[in-house]
Chains A and B, each alone.
Chain A
């Protein structure tokens, strides 16, 4: 579910994680929405890179270097949905962290438009941004060492990535409730346009998602995945 408490989403109670057996049933919907949004983004960016490579025919395209630290040698075999699910299950961070983590990634893309989120870097970006979000939001959270084990990277690497991300964001880690809400709305629209037919149970605002306008922010045509430019 995309929860956006009006005021303090940060303290918006942690999702009660039930017994393991039931965890599958109660995964917050934000995970699947976020997964599909990111999968689309990655697919589109990869196509873009391939296209450029063919055009140039002289090897790899020179993209921005901002995200270099997040690049793996090859793409991890775990899918984005599974990876997010894994982070959620083990760290028990609040669902809001995924929204805020997504905000960070989006800010990153806007700050460094020449950098693309692709399969080589999306996992590291995710674990790092969700971890920072959890540090910011959750009074109770796991340390970097734990996140590193969950995320499949070394402690040292994750620390480096954390700093990298903080500096790339220029320490712009504050997400106001207003911005938080707008991202929730955006993701909800994504969900509808996916045709998944999922209605989100909305704990937050009274406004309903406007079905007619669901396509006004189209991931397909944008360089970045994102909705509103953040002005904080």
Chain B
């Protein structure tokens, strides 16, 4: 795949987007589903090429075309990199309705709009959750390096991803890792003066500065998420599985220590610092908790999980870390095991059975939520891990007839109550799905991306035009009192956030606390 220069646009790419119908593709299998809509694996009839079709959900009439979709499309048009998912085209499906002349043309978008992506076999979460799956150290280094390379590319192109998590990292059978789901992404300027929403990034991967309410932030937010994923790969399970924001912060503080003006200059100026600051001293315990990690891994993780975003390592510097340049070196993606052939498709019936099988497996998993299927990596350095499983040196289990390990947006991990990610953080219905995971986890191509948006005037009161028509309007243009959306996230959220935020979770058992 050719790498375009940064900023280069594929303006000449043909055919023109939107000109083709979804009928050019044959849907093979649904690979993602949920309340948000569907993602399909499909074959382009003319070329036989396998793609992923993501339907853009458009059922909120008042909002029109989802801004998340516009943003994702415009950003993906701009980005061309081996480690960023490629948006190939946009296709439409003609709706059943016809216009006055009986031509279906008039409603050509009624049926739906699909984004056509290159097909990827897995996402990182799904892959890691396979039974018996165990990543090797060179494999983890290989994935991490690709993740950082892709992210560095986004950052130098002034794009923040804002939803880095395992299920948004797609992996194909060539071992390539690509960033996907740019539905929350946005361009940023380097001056950091813009006010951005802090309601982004799935809770478990959300950095402390966002949890503390900052609205001025930059690429460091993505690097925190990368740190969480890195630790998760090494540790074998998510490290900060918070239920809500207060608990999330508490988990972070438990491991990384409490922030203060010494380790994080300026932290006391962040909006919610005073509400959230721990009531007791908390020491940084990262090195202690993860003492079994490889020295270079721990060193890099320390720099990623740095509380102060200004001191947190950048993607570029992380790529230069010793970790990637010491034995065992990252492996060549191509040398990674193939977990299933991308080109041999099973019969429909088999797929059906398989899906049934997966459903059952997942259902079982939900009944035993405390069990994590995730295993820590195979240590090749010699000394066994010792911590969690016997026989950490056993080779990778060959995949047994498992299909692509996509995470279908089903809850994973501690799924006692809600889905994978807790529903907190979106009070007042203002923003677009900050915690999209509320509907269930990821799903590769960005599964939760276009939920109904409840976006009035998010900040509520300021600058609303007065109601009622104000002169000017000629015939037919009268606007009665417009009912704009009221009540922004900040209106609703401040209350209830206060007193008991630190409660309830102090005695929580964490996986890494023994």
Q: Any chain A CB within 8 A of the CB of B96?
A: no
Instruction: Report the nearest A residue to B92, measured CB to CB.
Output: A167
Kindly state the separation between the CA atoms of A90 and B472 in the bound complex, as whole angstroms. 11
Answer whether A144 and B63 are a contact pair too, CB < 8 Å, given A8-B189, A91-B465, A170-B17.
yes
Q: CB-CB contacts of A152-182 with B at 8 A, as 1s and 0s?
A: 1001101110111011001111100000000
Q: Any chain B CB within 8 A of the CB of A71?
A: no
Instruction: Report the nearest B residue to A149, measured CB to CB.
Output: B479
Q: CB-CB contacts of A105-145 with B at 8 A, as 1s and 0s?
A: 00000000000000000000000000110011001111111
Contact in complex: A143, B485 (CB < 8 Å): yes
Hey, which chain B residues are within 8 Å of A17, CB to CB?
463, 465
Dominant secondary structure at the B interface = loop
Q: CB-CB contacts of A86-109 with B at 8 A, as 1s and 0s?
A: 100111100000000000000000
For chain B, residues 455 to 484, give those with C-beta under 8 angstroms from any C-beta of chain A: 455-459, 463-466, 470, 472-477, 479-480, 482, 484
Q: Any chain A CB within 8 A of the CB of B61?
A: yes
Kindly state the separation between the CA atoms of A140 and B488 in the bound complex, as whole angstroms. 10
- Of the listed stretches B69-77, B145-153, B284-292, chain A binds B69-77
Q: Any chain A CB within 8 A of the CB of B273?
A: no
Kindly state the separation between the CA atoms of A15 and B90 in the bound complex, as whole angstroms. 35
Contact in complex: B458, A77 (CB < 8 Å): no
A143 in complex: contacting residue of B62, B73, B466, B479, CB < 8 Å: B62
Q: CB-CB contacts of A5-29 with B at 8 A, as 1s and 0s?
A: 0011001001011001001000000
Q: Any chain B CB within 8 A of the CB of A192?
A: no
Kindly state the separation between the CA atoms of A203 and B234 in the bound complex, as whole angstroms. 52
Hey, which chain B residues are within 8 Å of A143, CB to CB?
62-64, 453, 455-456, 484-485
Q: Any chain B CB within 8 A of the CB of A40?
A: no
Kindly state the separation between the CA atoms of A127 and B375 in the bound complex, as whole angstroms. 55
Q: Any chain A CB within 8 A of the CB of B16?
A: yes
Hey, which chain B residues are within 8 Å of A162, CB to CB?
64-65
Kindly state the separation between the CA atoms of A20 and B469 in the bound complex, as whole angstroms. 11
Q: CB-CB contacts of B101-118 with A at 8 A, as 1s and 0s?
A: 000000101000100000
Contact in complex: A78, B473 (CB < 8 Å): yes
Kindly state the separation between the CA atoms of A172 and B13 in the bound complex, as whole angstroms. 13
Kindly state the separation between the CA atoms of A86 and B64 in the bound complex, as whole angstroms. 21
Answer whether A89 and B64 are a contact pair too, CB < 8 Å, given A140-B457, A140-B459.
no
Instruction: Report the nearest B residue to A78, measured CB to CB.
Output: B474
Hey, which chain B residues are within 8 Å of A90, CB to CB?
465, 470, 479, 482
Contact in complex: B476, A146 (CB < 8 Å): no
Answer whether A144 and B62 are a contact pair too, CB < 8 Å, given A77-B475, A149-B479.
yes
Hey, which chain A residues are within 8 Å of B73, CB to CB?
171
B61 in complex: contacting residue of A83, A155, A167, CB < 8 Å: A155
Q: Any chain B CB within 8 A of the CB of A199?
A: no
Contact in complex: B70, A152 (CB < 8 Å): no
Hey, which chain B residues are within 8 Å of A91, CB to CB?
465
Contact in complex: A152, B65 (CB < 8 Å): no
Dominant secondary structure at the A interface = helix
- Give the size of the chain B interface in residues (CB under 8 angstroms): 51
Hey, which chain B residues are within 8 Å of A131, CB to CB?
64
Residue from the set A23, A143, A163 with the largest chain B CB neighbour count within 10 Å: A143
Q: CB-CB contacts of B46-66 with A at 8 A, as 1s and 0s?
A: 000000000000100111110
Residue from the set B18, B195, B458, B464 with the largest chain A CB neighbour count within 10 Å: B18
Could you tell me the distance in whole angstroms from the C-beta of B194 to the nearest C-beta in chain A?
5
Q: Any chain A CB within 8 A of the CB of B4?
A: no
Kindly state the separation between the CA atoms of A142 and B63 in the bound complex, as whole angstroms. 9
Contact in complex: B77, A171 (CB < 8 Å): yes
Answer whether A7 and B189 are a contact pair too, CB < 8 Å, given A85-B472, A149-B479, A150-B479.
yes
Answer whether A135 and B463 are a contact pair too, CB < 8 Å, given A159-B61, A163-B113.
no
Instruction: Report the nearest B residue to A142, measured CB to CB.
Output: B484
Could you tell me the distance in whole angstroms from the C-beta of B114 to the nearest C-beta in chain A?
13
Hey, which chain B residues are within 8 Å of A83, CB to CB?
477
- Give the size of the chain A interface in residues (CB under 8 angstroms): 52
Contact in complex: A86, B477 (CB < 8 Å): yes
Could you tell me the distance in whole angstroms from the C-beta of B330 to the nearest C-beta in chain A?
34
Q: Any chain A CB within 8 A of the CB of B130?
A: no
Kindly state the separation between the CA atoms of A232 and B10 in the bound complex, as whole angstroms. 10
Could you tell me the distance in whole angstroms from the C-beta of B480 to the nearest C-beta in chain A?
8
Instruction: Report the nearest A residue to B18, measured CB to CB.
Output: A167
Contact in complex: A89, B465 (CB < 8 Å): yes
For chain B, residues 114 to 166, give those with C-beta under 8 angstroms from any C-beta of chain A: none
Could you tell me the distance in whole angstroms from the C-beta of B325 to the nearest C-beta in chain A?
36
Contact in complex: B61, A140 (CB < 8 Å): no
Contact in complex: B78, A11 (CB < 8 Å): no
Q: Any chain B CB within 8 A of the CB of A76?
A: yes
Hey, which chain B residues are within 8 Å of A20, CB to CB?
466, 470
Q: CB-CB contacts of B8-26 with A at 8 A, as 1s and 0s?
A: 0101000011100000000
Q: List 22 A-B contacts (CB under 8 A).
A: A8-B191, A11-B194, A17-B465, A82-B474, A83-B477, A86-B472, A86-B473, A86-B477, A90-B479, A139-B195, A139-B197, A140-B458, A140-B459, A142-B457, A143-B455, A144-B61, A146-B484, A155-B62, A173-B70, A173-B74, A174-B74, A232-B9
In the A-B complex, the 8 residue pairs with the closest CB atoms: A144-B64, A78-B474, A167-B18, A145-B62, A152-B477, A77-B474, A159-B64, A149-B479
Q: Write the residues of chain B forming the contact surface with A, with a CB cutoff of 8 angstroms.
A: 9, 11, 16-18, 58, 61-65, 67, 70, 73-74, 77-78, 90, 92, 107, 109, 113, 189, 191, 193-197, 453, 455-459, 463-466, 470, 472-477, 479-480, 482, 484-485
Q: A20-B466, A77-B475 are in contact. List 20 more A-B contacts (CB 8 A).
A: A8-B191, A76-B474, A82-B474, A86-B473, A89-B470, A89-B472, A90-B479, A140-B463, A143-B62, A143-B453, A145-B63, A149-B479, A149-B480, A150-B479, A150-B482, A158-B64, A159-B64, A170-B16, A171-B74, A173-B70
